Amino acid sequence: MEPSALLTLLITLIAAVLLISDRVRADLMGLIIMVVLGLSGLVTPAETFAGFSGSAVMTILGISIISEGLRQTGVALWLGNWMRRLGGKNEIRLILVTMLVAAGLSLFMNNIAVVGVLFPATMAVARRTRVPAGKLLMPLAYGTALGGMATLLTTSNIVVSGMLKDNGLEPFGLLDFLPVGLPVVAVGVLYMLLWGRRLLPSAPNRGEQQQEQLNQRLETLYNLRNTISEVRVLAGCPLAGMRLADMGWALQTRTTILGILRNGQAILAPGPEETLEVGDRLFVQGQISAEIMEAQRLQREVHPAEPSLVSNENITLAELVISPHSSLIGRTLKEIRFRDKYHLNVVAVWRSGDAISSGLSDLKLRFGDALLVQGLASVIHAMTDHSDLLLLEENPDAVLKPGKLWLALAIMVVTLGIATLGYLPVAQVVLAGAVLMLLTGCLTMNDVYKNLEWKAIFLIAGMWPLSTAIMSTGLADAVGVALIQHLGFAAPWVIAAVLIGVGLLLTQVMSGQVAALVIGPLALAAASQLQVDPRAMAMGVALSCSLSFPTPLGHPVNLMVMGSGGYRFRDFLRIGTPLTILIVGVILAGLILYWGI
């Protein structure tokens, strides 16, 4: 073995030890590897930085933008609600639904695209069911990889099929992978349901706040159930037929209308142009005096108001804190004309550990006051750039661009449809879809910078030159040839098992596509020597390059869920290794029983 190959092997082993031990952050480790390989001369300067322009990084970049657009327009929430209806609040059912939906989509779609579409939906499911995201995101990634093994459309499968054709052999058809792939999916799902889920981290992570929705937490914290009253507009009410802007409601009643329930439909944070009608049920902040109730022909409802009726995905609650040098300090909400200026309703004020819910219009604001406000999610989102008020936390399920839902959905369907057909490179198609999302206003560039999965991008870009070095120094060929030579005259299924093992190992340090390019020729040579069906050996190699379960480096989708799921390298190792052993067994059984090796 050449000295350069030995040095590459040493760097690979050291990196693996550091990643498994969690001594160094995964993304930092990627950058370290990139620098070491470049300075040692194992890769050229161009190859050192090639990862940042690689197809995997560009695909993740584009799909991350599309995913954020789906979240902001409400597509992800709609998809998440559908998954939640199927899975309920039961953890096992939710894991089953997540894996089956992911596997089903990956039969026809690029794996990164599948996770990009389902990731925000899965996060929404986790928040609404209070199931930790860590219990669902790894099943999402694994379900995607398992489904890709049952179809020709996975990249490594396409590569190996192309090799067969180039060597004058019959390539694989679209359904040739199903006889082995479907049992693989079934076994993988059963493993996660019966055993793997027990090993998944259950602690809340990345701001999940015990998986409780922001609106619900704020409603509880500010005791809205006891501070919001509900009144009905009776026949003969002098305010009926008048616009809110003209009736002087706040001056007369010293309360704020937070919502109107009309014919079973909720109108939250009604605007000044909204007209009051007889029979309306009004949800108001504060208590209206008995004299005004009688004079205005209003009736207090017997049943207490439900706080959940003052917020939803479009109209949400949030906390705004008065900043140290705010121009609002010492002034009242009435003086500021807060509602007219900010288009938000102040529901309560948190001061010195207590919630104040009465007399808000005349309350002089102080530094450190937290204002509980109600309003459009898009208006609250815009407060992130305000100097007088600091937005503490946004509702992650808030729909910021509800009017763009169908547009975002159309862009997603067209983008993924074109990518699936395979006429154009996936990375280019996905980036084009991302640009369309931006041009049509489904999200802004500022949103992109805030929500990109930088950890995955740096890790993939950093590890990219390692795969280049493994190939260019001859390390991959040396390992593969040595293994084949030492097997002697072993049975064909033993040779297939060894090739699958090599493909599995190479997949962890380079993409499955590259691993297929390296190990594919060895499989065809071994089949010729053993006089067995070359398509059987090629099938085993192709499937081995999708065995991304033991490490987060096995496939970009693992990296996409790693941060939000709170996973460490060792989590993939201890959950993915038994799964990999089971899947290898299923693959070998399929090759023996169906392909006859």
Q: Is residue 546 part of a domain?
A: yes
Q: Are residues 183 and 83 in the same domain?
A: yes
CB contact set of 101 (below 8 Å; sequence gap of 6+): 83, 118, 143
Same domain, yes or no: 264 and 137: no
**Same domain for 261 and 195:** no
Is residue 332 domain-shared with residue 258, that is, in the same domain? no
| 415 located within any domain | no
Specify whether 285 is located in the same domain as 383: no
Reduce the secondary structure of 224-293 to three states and give it as a string: HHHHEEEEEECCCCCCCCCEHHHHCHHHHHCCEEEEEEECCEEEECCCCCCECCCCCEEEEECCCCHHHH
**413 falls within a domain:** no
Residue 365: closest CA among 376, 354, 378, 351: 351
**How many Å separate Cα 540 from the centre of its chain?**
31
SS3 35: helix
User: Quick one: 303 and 366 in the same domain?
Assistant: no
Burial label, 273 (beta-carbon count in 10 A; 0-12, 13-18, 19+): exposed
Point out the domain boundary residue: 310, 329, 364.
310
Task: State which residues form the domain around 361.
Answer: 316-391
Give all strands (DSSP E) within 342-439, no chain letters: 345-351, 354-356, 370-376, 389-391
Residue 424 lies in a domain: no
Residues 190 and 235 in one domain: no
SS3 sequence, 426-482? HHHHHHHHHHHHHHCCCCCHHHHHHHCCHHHHHHHHHHHHHHHHHHHCCHHHHHHHH
Q: Residues near 353 by Cβ (< 8 Å), separated by ≥ 6?
A: none
Instruction: Give a yes or no: residue 323 inside a domain.
Output: yes
CA distance readout (Å), 147 to 159, 191, 299: 17, 15, 58
The H helix count followed by the E strand count for the chain is 29, 10
Q: Which amino acid is at 524?
A: L
Q: Cβ–Cβ contacts within 10 Å for residue 4, how many?
A: 16
User: Does a structural domain hold residue 420?
Assistant: no
Same domain, 282 and 354: no
Residue 499 belongs to some domain of the structure: yes
329 located within any domain: yes
77 and 199 share one domain: yes
135 and 17 in a common domain? yes
Structural domain total, the chain: 3
Per-residue pLDDT of the chain (597 residues; tens, 9 = 90+): 688 888 988 988 888 788 777 778 878 888 898 999 999 999 899 888 888 877 777 877 888 888 889 889 988 888 888 998 998 889 999 999 999 999 998 887 778 888 888 988 898 888 888 888 999 999 999 999 999 899 887 878 887 888 788 778 888 887 899 999 999 999 999 999 999 999 998 765 444 444 346 777 788 888 887 788 889 999 999 989 998 888 888 777 888 888 898 887 888 888 888 899 999 989 888 788 888 898 889 998 866 555 566 887 788 889 999 988 889 999 999 899 898 899 899 989 999 888 888 888 888 999 989 999 999 888 888 888 788 898 888 777 788 888 899 999 999 889 888 877 777 887 888 899 999 999 999 999 988 888 777 777 787 788 778 877 877 888 767 766 676 677 656 788 888 998 899 889 888 876 677 677 667 777 887 787 778 888 999 999 999 999 999 998 888 889 889 888 889 989 999 999 999 999 999 999 999 999 888
| Domain boundary residue, one of 391, 425, 442 | 391
The edge-to-edge listing of strands for the beta sheet with 354-356 is 354-356, 345-351, 370-376, 315-322, 389-391
State which of 261, 277, 310 marks the end of a domain: 310
The structure tokens listed for 67 are 């995913």
496 & 520 share domain: yes
Q: Do residue 247 and residue 203 come from a single domain?
A: no
Q: What is the CATH number of the domain that holds 295?
A: 3.30.70.1450
